[in-house]
Amino acid sequence: MSYVVTGAAGFIGANLVKGLNAHGITDILAVDDLTQGDKFRNLVDCQIADYLDKDEFLARVRAGGFHRGVKAIYHQGACSDTTASDGRYVMATNYAYSCALLDFCMAEMIPFIYASSAATYGAHAEFREDPACEGPLNVYGYSKLLFDQRVRRLPRGSSQVVGLRYFNVYGDREQHKDRMASVAYHFFNQYRAEGHVRLFEGSGGYGDGEQRRDFVSVEDVVKVNLFFLQNPYQSGIFNCGTGAAQSFNDVAMTVLNSCRGTEGRPALTLHELQHQRLIRYIPFPGDLKGKYQSYTQADLTALRAAGYQAPFQTVEQGVAHYCHQLLAKSGG
């Protein structure tokens, strides 16, 4: 009986495979699309039983080729580009693909744990798993919301289905994501290449770099995923964030001081970093106006009620740890 992880060579998928390995689970079918071939590096140190291309996997599912052969599906595969404009591609990848796997899992009574997104909330100021709080700003967010709505219509008493609304995830194995990688990753590379970092000027009523997001470590995201696998009677849609919004300035300051610490330099305050132009502000992009979440903060009421009580890392804890990982990989 195999565990299936879709998007297994991606950021969260690969970390999830490593998390399963850490719990002694190696009978894993890794599913992905390796058109972007360098993603293979995320799986090199992972223990898996087999690999299938996404299209072949989906064809086999629809043909009944996995009857009684799957123990659970972790569905992380998606188009995660929030600026994508090809709506047909986004809907096919994020909605239709998810629907096919959901139908299969329901028919076979297989646990189905999938990646939703905080993009479903859009510009709302409240982030509860409730239709009154939802209003996506782009087709990516809509594709995730539409699937969540389908999950909400499932009959009670069906097999386990869990949707996790990821907030701003950062951490190891995101190097292939290019511009969609976390701001922590971009700030680290900007500082290493240019000696400073760049943040957006104020927007949405927030000052320069003071836009606030719920930044969550991929390590914590994996823990939440594994919790639901270990609690098969819990189903529903749950926020997956820290429950505490922090500013982009907080992330930048943590990255800079983490790097400076390894250089034998003292930590600086935000004002000092700004004064020394180690933090610089650039104009807010015109193409993001009306499509940008200036504030997110996960409401963890439902997640805590489901029994998940572990603490989440703060930016100061998680981003500092991530910077040390990046420094170790870069040889300095």
Query: What does the alpha-carbon distance between residue 32 and residue 12 come to, in Å, rounded to a whole number?
Result: 12
Query: What does the alpha-carbon distance between residue 15 and residue 171 come to, in Å, rounded to a whole number?
Result: 9
Catalytic pick from 51, 89, 177, 206?
177
Burial label for 37, CB within 10 Å (0-12, 13-18, 19+), is exposed
Tell me the angle at which helices 315-330 and 248-262 cross, rounded to the nearest 10 degrees.
Answer: 40
Query: What does the alpha-carbon distance between residue 226 and residue 274 come to, in Å, rounded to a whole number?
Result: 40
| Active-site residue, 3 included | no
| Active-site residue, 18 included | no
Query: What does the alpha-carbon distance between residue 36 and residue 38 come to, in Å, rounded to a whole number?
Result: 6
Q: What are phi and psi of 62, to 5 degrees?
A: -70, -25
Query: What does the alpha-carbon distance between residue 193 and residue 197 come to, in Å, rounded to a whole number?
Result: 10
8 A C-beta contact, residue 213 and residue 295 = yes
8 A C-beta contact, residue 141 and residue 117 = yes
Beta-carbon contacts of residue 293 (< 8 Å; ≥ 6 apart): 118, 119, 121, 122, 123, 137, 213
8 A C-beta contact, residue 174 and residue 15 = no
Query: What does the alpha-carbon distance between residue 68 and residue 66 come to, in Å, rounded to a whole number?
Result: 6
User: Which H, E and C letters describe 258-327, residue by residue?
Assistant: HHHHHCCCCCCCHHHHHHCCCEEEECCCHHHCCCCCCECCCCCHHHHHCCCCCCCCCHHHHHHHHHHHHH
Catalytic pick from 74, 114, 140, 308?
140
**Closest C-alpha among 174, 148, 170, 173 to residue 161:** 148
Residues marked as catalytic: 140, 177
